[in-house]
Copies of this chain bind each other. A is one copy, B any other.
Amino acid sequence: MGINARHTLDALLHPRSVAVIGASDDPLRIGGRPIAYMRSQSFAGRILPVNPGRATVQGLTAYASVDALPETPDVAIIAIPAKSSVQVVADLAERGTAVAIVFSAGFAESGPEGEATQRALVAAARRHGMRVLGPNSLGLVNPRNGFYGSFVSSVELGMPSAGRVAIVSQSGAYGGHILATATAAGIGLSACAMTGNESDITLGEVVQMMVNDDDTDVIALYSEGIREAAGLIAALEAARRARKPVVMMKVGRSVVGSAAAQSHTASIAGNDVVIEAVLAELGVVRARSTEQMLDIARLATRRIYPVNNALGVITVSGGAGVIICDAAEDLGLPVPEMPVETQAELNALLPYASPRNPVDVTAQFLNDFSLLSRFTETMVDKGGYPSVLGFFTYTAGMPSVAPRLRDELKRVRERHPDRLFVLSVLASPEQIRGYEEDGFCVFEDPSRAVLAIEAMGRYGRAFAAEAGEAAPVVPVPFLPASTPSEAQAKRLLASAGIASAPEIACTTVDAAVAATRDIGFPVVLKILSPDILHKSEIGGVLLNVSDEDSVRLGFATLVERAGKVVPTARIEGVLVARQLSGGVECILGIHRDPVFGPMAMFGLGGIFVEVMKDVVFHRCPFGPDVAERMIRSIKGAPLLLGARGRPPVDIDALARMLSQLSAFGAAAGARLQSIDLNPVFAMPAGQGAYAADAVIEILPEVTP
């Protein structure tokens, strides 16, 4: 983003003057709401209503047209029909307005005609360097300065307070829902932006704007479909570098992208698995509900992101301790034991207390308050937990207890400003405010508290992650004009350092017999044709062929079968390959995701991928370290590491192959649709990994 772009988006958050085109005197109409909101929130900039039919609007002087405006507005709000808006935008752009927020619908979302209008609108703006948010956008709210470039009606239920969470939403209606929910939950906002049709300003740019904004610490992102991946990824990477947590709802998990469903690998994936993988790579925490998103955002504003997260629990109920442990284990958040000698110290204070962690101080603390402070202090000092969760439930709200509890907790908190302190309590809003002011983040439900705490550790790890090993460099593959045969495919892959089982392409029976002398029995025979991709489906593969006669018979059988099943196929002959055995069968693949480009996939062979869906994905390219982490992350990984008395396989070779494949996928360009290495034999340690079959799908070259 250049300096000008940055300036433009600054204007969007902090305009000195705002024109409202289609300004209405009625504070409930689309053209009236922004004015009413800004006035009620004491917006300090100048509001310039434009309405040819009125001298004043909501008590402000109105102007008949853009030309009549006494100054050039930084921002213009467009609340007039789509058709009329193009000329107005052109006028505003010519005068030098930085950004137009276009509320109006009737653009690309409404069909081809609207799409043309939208193109004209953007062209008119861009001609003079003006940017457009929308159209069909609910606009932008900045509670810090009272700028309401929005007609969102959810604020009727309560105006948001200023704070450090930015909401960025592709949906207007749901953005309003998030805004209202956040407001009701008392979450202070730096902005709430709703991107609409993204004709010009993209979701990625708005995220980048919030990354650049010094008053924003946390970004809560709601997305229905990623239109422009590169910009969004760049913005999310910038957020990670700036240590600004992004929590994202990407909805539509159940929808499988049609384009991605074509190749074998992709049919297993579905778009959402890819999105899940990409977000994890980028350190974005994905929320499954609005409640989760706002819980995580709220805790993230404490700005404590433990790199090696672990949870210490102090509780007045053993049961709550168990619930918290259950939730932590579900999420993989460790709840390590207290040092044994410290446990003895605590037991000396209160024999029936449980001092392991969760540290259960029991209801005894109501009789002896010093117990609470000694238990809490000891746990925080000696346990060394980066995150501390106190379960005090309704005791924290009892008038007879709350003030003393608050004092005790505050003292401990002040001595450890680097720790993440969370409370699970039931109390009045005033009491909760008190605990929050003292530096605690308060949740009612202990399970929700654990979910948010675990997310902070994921941010910590993402922010601390060092650059890993470099992805390998492979020569740019020279892709053939169309999908290659198996032998061609393997040659292509060999040039990128991907090894196949030894094999020889044979055009005659005699050549096939001769080939077995080099390769040794048993062999595999496979039909060789660029027109037959899935050979086993037509009976085009013969395994464990173990003598010359069988080779001769097999050759004839394969050619005959192929000719019968696919009469139009060009038959080049038969591939004679070494029959590998003793390894573990894996699948390695690449498929081009319509949003994120080439994605690498790894899984165990056959049923593990197809029935158990035990696979992992990653954007291409990546180094062997990432490849190894992928391999080790699947559920069936013990099979590769020596489960059930098997020898461990050559993980190094397998990881290298996956990494080389990812480099090939990245270098091959947009014509590469998919690669399917199935099976790859991961041989015992030290003996390598070999692709036994390779299918590469390529889009035909477009002749000009």
Interface residues of A in 169-224 (CB under 8 A from B): 170-171, 173-174, 176-177, 180-181, 184, 222, 224
- The stretch from A238-246, A509-517, A565-573, A633-641 touching chain B is A633-641
Q: A290-B445, A395-B153 are in contact. Are A251 and B326 (CB under 8 A)?
A: yes
**A319 touching B174 by the CB < 8 A rule?**
yes
- The stretch from A73-81, A379-387, A397-405, A498-506 touching chain B is A397-405
**A319 touching B222 by the CB < 8 A rule?**
yes
Tell me, yes or no, whether A394 is within 8 Å of chain B by CB: yes
Tell me, yes or no, whether A159 is within 8 Å of chain B by CB: no
Contact of A177 among B153, B222, B426, B636 (CB under 8 A): B426
Q: A156-B394, A289-B327 are in contact. Are A173 and B426 (CB under 8 A)?
A: no
List B contacts of A399 (CB < 8 A): 156
When chains A and B are docked, how far (Å) is the Cα of A427 from the Cα of B184? 10
Tell me, yes or no, whether A476 is within 8 Å of chain B by CB: no
Contact of A174 among B171, B176, B320, B327 (CB under 8 A): B320
Q: A252-B322, A611-B643, A643-B611 are in contact. Are A394 and B176 (CB under 8 A)?
A: yes
When chains A and B are docked, how far (Å) is the Cα of A294 from the Cα of B371? 32
Tell me, yes or no, whether A411 is within 8 Å of chain B by CB: no
Nearest chain-B residue to A290 (Cβ)? B445
CB distance from A539 to the nearest CB of B (A): 11
**B318 touching A171 by the CB < 8 A rule?**
yes
CB distance from A110 to the nearest CB of B (A): 7
Q: A394-B156, A614-B612 are in contact. Are A448 and B252 (CB under 8 A)?
A: no
CB distance from A152 to the nearest CB of B (A): 9
Tell me, yes or no, whether A363 is within 8 Å of chain B by CB: yes
List B contacts of A318 (CB < 8 A): 171, 173, 224
Tell me, yes or no, whether A393 is within 8 Å of chain B by CB: yes
Tell me, yes or no, whether A3 is within 8 Å of chain B by CB: no
Q: A173-B393, A318-B171, A393-B180 are in contact. Are A153 and B398 (CB under 8 A)?
A: yes
Contact of A447 among B291, B607, B643 (CB under 8 A): B291
Q: A251-B319, A352-B110, A636-B607 are in contact. Are A447 and B289 (CB under 8 A)?
A: yes
Q: A290-B447, A614-B612 are in contact. Are A251 and B323 (CB under 8 A)?
A: yes
Interface residues of A in 422-466 (CB under 8 A from B): 426-428, 444-448
**A176 touching B393 by the CB < 8 A rule?**
yes
CB distance from A471 to the nearest CB of B (A): 30
Tell me, yes or no, whether A552 is within 8 Å of chain B by CB: no
CB distance from A632 to the nearest CB of B (A): 13
**A180 touching B607 by the CB < 8 A rule?**
no
CB distance from A304 to the nearest CB of B (A): 24
Sample of 19 further A-B pairs with CB below 8 A, known A156-B400, A251-B319, A255-B322: A28-B400, A153-B394, A156-B394, A156-B398, A157-B397, A173-B318, A173-B363, A174-B323, A177-B320, A181-B445, A222-B319, A224-B322, A251-B326, A288-B326, A288-B327, A289-B448, A290-B445, A610-B644, A611-B639
Point out residues on A near B: beta carbons under 8 Å: 28, 109-110, 153-154, 156-157, 170-171, 173-174, 176-177, 180-181, 184, 222, 224, 249, 251-255, 288-291, 316-320, 322-323, 325-327, 329-330, 352, 363, 393-395, 397-400, 426-428, 444-448, 606-607, 610-612, 614, 635-636, 638-639, 643-644
